[in-house]
Structure 1
């Protein structure tokens, strides 16, 4: 079958979200064809280029979310009136509904959700008829429609407080998120020709899938390893209240529409699943599919647990405030009182300028807590605390970092899916973790879990494992077995292969293809069109924005050959 893979700020770019997962999925499903439709987040991301693409990727099309391209479309009077009505209806749906500050229960009514969906698809149809809405979404008409909705009777109290700068900010954000409405991706030679759209995240990435479903009946599958709505909430905590309320309403309505229209939604863990259910996702549509990770690079360490230093704790990850290394250092001070010979190895690079500043703060704290030893003048083996990075002579690989300690520690206060914890489990290491995100779900009883921001509890759990080598070995073996069963690339690929077949069998795309005269083409979709293999001529090698890729030719009316290719 042909899959339309929809991404935002990720695959096929060298850097970005979910890049490795998408690449492993595409390479693991060589029996299918993939058309990749990617939204880029920055000029730098496009400049860095793409990863090497396997032959089953037959087409790549890209569009930027970081810059507004003028499509040159000037709406006539009738089109301007249609735009004003539909954008006004969208804005009205954002401003309507209960206000938590007024003491009314949260959650939009079905009527509001229907109005939002109708307005969204109405704008998409207008964009398709006129060739784009780039200029209209940035126009004064859009801002005034938003203002009228905020001032209308029954609008949210926070929306009524919006001033002109707030309205301009909201309108600019909506224009950026709604740019996929103006793309030419939805024709019969684009997303209209695929058997299934698979969005690698919610939000803007799933919006083209919604439109392909609306225009061509293509079923939609949505995967979220990090809930897009939650990421938006965290990113707008410093915005003025009216801006925060309006954008939260928009992204909440969009998430509900995506979950409602998708055939299946696959959260990456129970934490993401609870968010999706809270946003209105039907529980019957949810299938938890854990992210697949490469276990082979940890096999040697996992099969030789005796390599571990029984008196060493190891922490591995990105250095940033959310990892709460401060609590870990205070906990280690308590551990040293009970087990004076214990060492702590902190392995990881800082994440940006904030991470670099935090790393400096942690090093200063370590020097304060251990003044006689952590002065930077001793060898790594002589210091109770060391700050290291992968690639040095002591730790040439990630697996060597986990091999250096008998107990792996995770001290985060915020965590989604704890990748470093799974890596430690692949290595057969006993773990001590804080109860955040999906940690308890991942551990499943094979490690110790303590409350976050509790150095004493963290210290007590570490001491308990340091003093009991048999328990460490038992927990490490159980952790490795659990990780190999649930978190490998192979299980991830097998799960999505089964979901693909289920969706296509349950929701096949019913296409009516036309010949050169505009008449229906009989038998345009033969039975063998869904047999694996290439039954038509090869695709054309073209160069698209962002790098080389596979692409079809320009849009044309379907001929018998094009019809068969589109139905494959």
Structure 2
């Protein structure tokens, strides 16, 4: 199969979000071809370059999200009328939107009609950026907000608010103006796999609209929730209109996707609340490489039986203040206890928070808080920079402790907790995010911001080595069953084949003489399926006449295609996607 992998600020850029996950997926599915369509978030990200790409990545096309480019397109009278119609309908839906109407079929159809109408206009005219930034767009928003029966916050929008909303909508709708939607672009892939919701999924929606390419959406952190948590100080009108847009876009994405794959039950609940069909949701936990942590599991004698270890990025959400206060109570019960805080600050806010934590530790433990790179000495608390990004460095940190502590007040999927479980270490964690789902009874969980409960749980494990060993062994067994790279790759391989079995063949591969290549079309597409149920996607649509010959505006890097094999690929045992308990 040929997969169109859609990313935003991630793969293939160095240090991008979800970059490691995407790289493991691509390398683990070497018998498929991958075309990567990536959005960059900053000049620094582009300057850092790409990670090394495997041979199965045959094409990379990129587009920036951090610049405002003038496409130079001047619309004629008919195009301006079309823009006014579709953008006006979009503005009317957003200004009249309310949370209860997000999943209403009529409102969903209005949003979809406006969105795809703007997309078709962008293709017909060669771009839409200038129109989205124009005074006309602002006046259309103003008329929609002044119409009867609109939200109160929208009715009270001032001109600066409307300018802000227009600029944010132009940023969010920038993918409409790209030249990716061609027969030799996204129209040539068998499946679009969006590595996140929001902007990254929008090209997949358009590929489905124009070419009936199926869409798979993976969200390890729900993008809509991220939008709700950012810019809390924005004016009410801005928050209201943008929340309506992102909510509608999320609902349309879930409605059109063949499958939606959250990384945990917490994300799944958000998706269901935003309109995702439960029958098309498959929970696929993130996969991690267990190999670097084997030595930590096999060498428990190297662990200090009185040492607690915390690892991660230092920032306020990790609540190290509560951890330090809890450790004060731990020292009263276990005088020989030590605490290693291993990790660097996350930006300027993290650096200031780290200094605050150092000062607090100096007050709580006079003469005993260390700042050196090694935990040896008389101080019970040490602040250490992690030695590098390699997993072996983190494995050594877990190996040095008897109990691994997570003290966060906000957490998505706790990767560090999974690493500690793979290291067969007993854990004490706060009940946030997906922690309870990950732990599954193999560690102790306490309420967040409760130093006393955190201290009591740590003392209980420090005093009971047999219990620590039992919990650590159970934790490793659970992590190996649910959270490995192999499990993750096999689950997506299974989903790819299931989607292919329910989708039409979009391309026929030919050899040099023009004959079909043997085994070029996977046998799974010929599997009989039950088509009596409700359709999960709109009817097949042929490629429009304008889909060829458009000039390129985004970076397009082609790699030589992988030669097709003349023999069938051996069957690979499939592991079904793990369904977490709701």
The reply to whether TM is greater than 0.5 is yes
Aligned equivalent of 1:96: 96
Match of 2:218 among 220, 223, 228: 223
| Distance (Å, rounded) in 1 between the aligned partners of 2:174 and 2:254 | 20
User: Is the 1:298–1:426 contact (alpha carbons within 8 Å) kept by the matching residues of 2?
Assistant: yes
CA distance in 2, matches of 1:98, 1:545: 36
SS at match of 1:412: coil
Of the three residues 231, 239, 246, the one matched with 1:236 is 231
In 2 relative to 1, CA 524–452 (structure 1 residues): closer, same or farther, beyond 3 Å?
farther
Say which SS state the counterpart of residue 159 (structure 1) adopts: helix
1:260-279 equivalent positions in 2, closer than 5 A: 260-279=255-274
Distance 1:45 1:344, change over 3 A: same
2:319 paired residue among 308, 321, 324: 324
Q: Distance in 1 between matches of 2:136 and 2:97?
A: 23
Question: What are the superposed Cα offsets for residues 343-396 of structure 1, whole Å, 9 maximum, x if unpaired?
Answer: 00000010000000000000000001011322659963321100001229xx98
The match for 1:437 among 425, 433, 436 is 433
- CA drift of 1:58 comes to 0.4
Q: Which runs of 5+ in 1 are unaligned?
A: 100-104, 514-522, 533-542, 553-568
- State TM-score, norm by structure 1: 0.89
Which position in structure 2 is the counterpart of 1:529?
A: 520
Match of 2:47 in 1: 47
Counterpart selection for 1:422 from 418, 424, 427:
418
Pick one of 359, 378, 383 that aligns with 2:354. Answer: 359
Contact 1:61 1:544 in 2 (8 A): no
Instruction: Indicate which of 333, 336, 340 corresponds to 2:331.
Output: 336
Of 387, 395, 417, 1:399 maps to: 395
Matches within 5 A, 1:349-388: 349-374=344-369, 380-388=376-384
CA distance in 1, matches of 2:3, 2:324: 48
1:255 aligns with 2:250: yes
Q: How far apart are 1:509 and its partner, in Å?
A: 4.0
Q: TM-score, normalization: structure 2?
A: 0.87
Aligned to 1:34: 34
Change (3 A) 1:446 1:334: same
Cα distance, 1:551 vs. partner?
7.6
Distance 1:108 1:147, change over 3 A: farther
* Structure 1 equivalent of residue 179 of structure 2: 184
Cα separation, 1, equivalents of 2:92 and 2:27: 44
CA distance in 2, matches of 1:143, 1:38: 29
Aligned partner of 2:445 in structure 1 is 449
Aligned CA distance change for structure 1 residues 281 and 312 (closer, same or farther; 3 Å):
same
Gaps of at least 5 residues in structure 2 are 524-551, 562-582
Report deviation, 1:548: 5.7
Give the whole-Å Cα distance in 2 for the aligned partners of 1:119 and 1:490.
41
- In the aligned structure 2, how far is the partner of 1:81 from the partner of 1:178? 19
Distance 1:259 1:436, change over 3 A: same
8 A Cα contact 2:102 2:248, kept in partner: no
Instruction: Supply the distance in 1 between the matched residues of 2:23 and 2:370 (Cα, whole angstroms).
Output: 44
CA separation of 1:242 and 1:525: change in aligned 2, threshold 3 A: farther
User: Alpha-carbon deviation of 1:544?
Assistant: 10
Inter-partner Cα distance in structure 1 for 2:508 and 2:415 = 46
What number of residue pairs does the alignment pair up?
527
TM superposition shift of 1:525 = 6.9
Superposed displacement of residue 19, structure 1: 0.4
Runs of 4+ in 1 over 3 A off after TM superposition: 105-108, 375-381, 509-513, 523-528, 543-549
SS in 2 for 1:491: helix
| Residue 124 of structure 1: how far off its partner (Å) | 0.4
Q: Determine if the alignment matches structure 1 residue 172 to structure 2 residue 167.
A: yes
Q: Distance in 2 between matches of 1:526 and 1:50?
A: 32
Please list the CA deviations of residues 278-313 of structure 1 after superposition, one character each: whole Å capped at 9, or x if unmatched: 101000010000011111111111122222110000
Following TM superposition, by how much is the alpha carbon of 1:530 offset from its aligned partner in structure 2, in angstroms? Answer: 1.3
- Shift of the 266–396 alpha-carbon distance from structure 1 to 2, 3 Å rule, reads closer
Structure of higher RCO (CA pairs closer than 8 Å, 6+ residues apart): 2
1:17 aligns to 2:26 (yes or no):
no
Equivalent residues of 1:2, 1:33 under 8 A apart:
yes
C-alpha offsets along residues 193-252 of structure 1, whole Å, 9 cap, x if unaligned? 000000000000000000000000000000000111111111121211110111100000
Alpha-carbon deviation of 1:492? 0.4
The counterpart of 2:306, out of the listed 304, 308, 311, is 311
Verify the 8 A CA contact 1:97 1:108 in the aligned structure 2.
no
Q: The residue matched to 2:520 in structure 1 has which SS?
A: helix
User: Partners in 2 of 1:188 and 1:286 — Cα distance?
Assistant: 29
